[in-house]
Amino acid sequence: MSRFKSFAGKGLSLAVMAVFMLAVIAGCSGAGGSTAAKTDTTSANGQSSKTTEPAAEGKTEAADGGTFTYARPAAVTSFDLHNEITANNAFAIDKVFEPLVSFDKDGKIVDWLAKSHEVSADGLTYTFVLRDGLKFSDGKDVTAKDAVFSLNRHLKVGGPLEISAKIGSVTAKDDHTLVVKLEQPYTPFLSEMSNFSNGILPDNFGGKTEEEFFKKPIGTGPFVVENWDPTGDVTFVKNEHYWQEGKPHINKLVYKLVQDDSQALNQLKAGEVDGIESLALQNAQELKNGDGTAVLTNGSWVTEQLFFNTLDEHFADKHVRRALALALDRDGLTKALTFGYAQTANSLLPTTIPYNSNDSIKPLNFNVEEAKKELAQSKFPTGFSSTLLVASGNDTRAQEAQIIQAAAKTIGIDLKIESVELAAFRERFFAYDFSAMLNSGQADSPEANSIIAFQTDPDGFSKSYWTHYTNDQVTKLLREGQTTPDGEGRQKIYGELLQILADDVPYIPLYYPDIIKGVRSSVEGLTVLPNGSLRFEDAHIAQ
């Protein structure tokens, strides 16, 4: 017994203490390590677009094959392209279905399944000519009839990303030519055609029922669904009939469901996944400097904003909104919160969207004295108390709210922060049950009308993004912008419209956040798109 006592006593207690100490030490220290070689490159249009170079040792070699495992916070629940909108499904659907035209990493519209497209001078007829030798993933030829079926189904379903143009007819002129006739000119149409929801599927679902088809979808995209658990992972294999010869380079793409962001981050650091979709700004620097990890970024189509409910007794007053805009140091806020992964916003439109007028517009810049004068002109010259609604679970937004709260206090406005869970947050603002809120506006395609219509159209279902803001001049310019052909005329219209918004301040555009993705340094050729999706066609994993 005494031997047992001494052995068990000393040995075990030492072991327990050692494990405990190690755990504490490990937990308290950050991730150090050497820095992998990385360079920042600038994309063609001058947008900040940083890509990773392979590890510096020179031993790495890009080879075809292999599996890319991508950790994502939400599962893919449906492949029905006409009924989906949220990122969890959209960024899986776009791997299987492809539209006639698409956009590149700079948001420029490019021909995709169509080898060319033509818009008639009156803006009413769009003609798309399909690429030669296009095949679906089952080896069958793609014809204009498939495109007709796809667009007609989208028109019939409507769905969350419905086609806004008034379509007169969709016809197949011959096997390779699709003609779409509009009832009235609608300039954003081409850009809207680049949405994943306008992807091409086989005529009549290839003879299957809708349900069967979307369980094992067939498209022209670079990948084919091999295994799909609607509450878990998706495994894609490369499409052997893909029209871009020799691509994709990887054999398999796995969308691994990892709901917890810090778990995903740790899996990336340990090399268990090759990339992570959701990366908090505060962790980006750690990955950038980390051993074997890197950060990929691109400009986004998102504008982070402070929204005002213009039905609210205080924020109905334009002077109050203007005073808050003047009291807020947007530049300081952006620098403090985004670690260099964002650009301060002047206009509603991010700089990645054409006609953004970010350089020419004159916003209400930080000036506390002017802010006080502006508030003095309002119905509440000495200030008031109100609330700022924020969805919980987003650290950056929580800090944003605090900065705004402090800025408001400098002019006598007492903002109480109300942090509620996402589902409750949506319920509240959908019912206009808020005074001010933090949220972001996002374009679905590289088109000015996308964000502007959603945030200014008083007849739209969102009632100017639930601000209830109405300005007849803005509505007139919005309609003009939709029918005016691309060019200087359209530029002028949006310049004027955005200036009115900057003066009326139904919302304060704060900053344009970059898209940031965490990857292993061994990953090459991955393209980060401005909508937040990734293109894997050129991706390699260095051996």
Partner 1 sequence: MTQTLRKARREAGFPSSWRWVGTALLRALLVILCVTTAVFFLIRIVPGDPAKMILGEYATDESITALRHTLGLDLSLWEQFVRFVRILFTQGDTGNSIVSGVSVRQLIGDRAPVTLLLIAMAAVLAVCISLILAVLAATHKDKLLDHLIRIFPAITLGMPVFWVGLLLILLFGVRLHWFPVGGVREGWTGMLYSLTLPAITVAFSQIPTLVRSLRAQMLEVLESDFVVTLKAAAIPRHAILFKHVLRNSALPTLMLLGVNLSYMIGGTLVVEQVFGIKGIGSLLFTSISSRDFPVIQGIALYCAVAVVVIGLLVEIFAWWLDPRTKEKR
β-strand partners of 275: 70, 519
Binding site residues, partner 1, CB under 8 A:
1, 4-5, 8-9, 12-13, 16-17, 22-24, 26-27, 31, 74-75, 77, 85-86, 158-162, 230-232, 256-260, 262-264, 266-267, 269-270, 272, 420-424, 426-428, 430, 439, 444, 454, 461-462
CA atoms within 13 A on the CB side of 478: 21
Tell the smallest beta-carbon distance from residue 425 to partner 1 (Å). 9
- Nearer to partner 1 (CB atom), residue 31 or residue 500: 31
State in angstroms the smallest separation of the CB of 53 from partner 1: 24
Nearer to partner 1, 383 or 506 (CB): 506
Beta carbon nearer to partner 1, 121 or 270: 270
Tell the smallest beta-carbon distance from residue 345 to partner 1 (Å).
Answer: 19
β strands within 356-494, DSSP E:
384-391, 413-420, 436-442
Locate all alpha helices (DSSP H) within 315-416, ordered by sequence.
318-327, 330-338, 368-376, 395-409
Smallest gap, in angstroms, from Cβ of residue 426 to partner 1?
5
Give, in degrees to the nearest 5, the angle at Cα 466 between 108 and 107.
5
Give whichever of 137 and 300 is closer to partner 1, judged by the CB atom: 300
Bridge partners of 343, per DSSP, are 512
Nearest to 96 by CA among 265, 244, 216: 216
> Nearer to partner 1 by C-beta: 146 or 444?
444
Select 177 or 392, whichever has its Cβ closest to partner 1: 392
In this complex, which beta carbon is closest to partner 1, that of residue 264 or of residue 327? 264
Helices (H) and strands (E) in the chain — how many of each?
17, 22
CB of 534 to partner 1, least distance (A): 20
Least distance between partner 1 and beta carbon 290 (Å): 10
CA 395 to each of CA 275, 338, 492: distance values in angstroms, whole numbers, following the listed order: 22, 11, 38
Distance CA 371, CA 320 (A): 9
186, β-bridge pairs: none
Q: How far is the CB of 451 from partner 1 (least distance, A)?
A: 11
User: What's CA 409's distance to the chain center, in Å?
Assistant: 32
Strand, coil or helix: 369: helix
